Amino acid sequence: LAWLPADVAAADAAAPFLVLRVRRASLVEDALESLAGNTPLSLLKPLRVVFVGEEGIDEGGLRKELFQLLIEALFTGGYGLFVWNEEVRCFWFSRDSLAQEGAADYLLVGLVVGLAIHNGIILDLKVPTLLFSQVLGEPSASLESLKQVDPELARGLAQLLEFDGDVEVTFMATFTVAATACGEPKTVELLPGGADRPVTNESREEYVRLVVEHILLTGVRPAFDAFRRGLLTLCDGPALSFLSPEVLEELVCGTPHLDFAALQANTRYDGFRETDVTVKHFWEVVHAYSTDEKRALLAFATGCDRAPVGGLGKLKLILQKSGPDSMALPHSHTCFNLLAMPAYTSRGKMRDRLGIAIHNAKGFGLM
C-alpha cells in the first residue's frame, strides 16, 4: 500500500495475523490492493482489520463490519459487477462487456467470500444456489437453473418451446441475445452468423439451449472464473469435494432455518434483566412475527437475515437498554449483534416501535 508508512507495512507483514488496513473513503480500492499484495499463505493467517484513523481493537466486530461494507459496495455500489433480479431477490454476474473485463474486481469478490468462510463470518450474500454448484465444478445450463437467475426469461423460453404455431413467423427471433457494452445496448450472436439465422420450429430447442448457456455460463465466464479463482485461493482442498452446493451456501450465507427459541435462550442482556417487562414484551412480539418479519429483525440487528452455521443458538445477540421508556426507536450495532431500545412499558409500543425500526432501517437505524 503506497500510502502506508514503511514501518507499519513491515510490522504488518511480520505479524502472526493477516492485517487489512483500509480507509473508509477508499474501502474497496484499499482492500483490493491489500489482498493482492499478500501471498496465499499469508491470506490464511487469522484476520485482523484496522480502519485507518479510528481507534479500536478488532475482536470480531471490525471484521464483520468490513465484510458487510465490502459486500454492499461490490454488489450495489455502482461497480456494475452484478445484476439484481427482484423476483428471486438475488444477484447474478453482469453480462456487460465492461464488467466482464474487470477480472481483478471479481477476483476480490471471490477472495472476500473465501476469507469470510476461512474466518467463520456469515455474509448477507444474495446469490442463487446455482453459483455454489458451479464453484464446486457442477455447471448447469437448464431452464430449471435459469429460474434461479431470471425466472421471467425462463418462462418465456418455456412458452417458446411449447408454442403450437409457426415460431419463425410469430416470434421473428434470431440466434442473438440482447446485452450491453459500457451501458449501451448491443446484440450478441449465439453462434457465427446468428443474426441472420431465424429461430424456427425445428431450431428452437438449440436456440433455447444456447440462450441458457449464454446467461449462465459462456456470457459470464471471465467474471465467474475470476470469482471462483479468488474463492478457491483460500478454500480449495480435498474437503471441498465432499460439500454439496447447499452446504457450501450455508457456510457462506448461513442457514435459512430460524429457531427463535434457541436465539432467546442464548441472548445476553445489558441494562435489562431477563425478567424485565420490556424483555418479556420483546420476545412475545418477536415470537408472533411472521418468517419475513423475523428475517427483517435479524437483518436489522445482525446485518444478515439468516442464522449462522449451527443455527440461531450459535448467535450471540445482545439486547441493550438505551434509556427509560420513550417513543424513541430501537437502533442496532450490527458489528456486535447488538440491539438497543428504551425500556418500553407496553407490548403495543414495543410492537409499534420495533416494527417501524426493522422495516425502515436502511439509512438510519443501523450502526
Catalytic residues, by residue number, are 335
The Cα–Cα gap between 173 and 66 comes to: 46
How many angstroms from the chain centroid is the CA of residue 37?
24
SS3 of 331, please?
strand
Spatial distance between the Cα atoms of 247 and 250, rounded to a whole number of angstroms: 5
Distance CA 69, CA 139 (A): 30
Q: Which of 231, 208, 102 is nearest to 146 (CA)?
A: 208
Helix (H) or strand (E) holding 266: helix 260-266
CB 128 within 8 A of CB 85: no
Cα–Cα distance for residue pair 82/95, rounded to 1 Å = 8
* Position 80, amino acid: G
Partners of 82 in the beta sheet? Answer: 93
Beta-sheet strands, E only, within 86-240: 90-93, 176-181, 184-189
Task: Provide long-range contacts, Cβ within 8 A and 24+ apart, for 217-221.
Answer: 217/139, 217/141, 219/95, 219/177, 219/179, 219/188, 220/92, 220/93, 220/94, 220/95, 220/100
Count of other CB atoms within 10 angstroms of residue 71: 21
Cell of 299: 437483518
Cell output for 303 = 446485518
Would you tell me how many other CB atoms lie within 10 Å of the CB of residue 233?
19
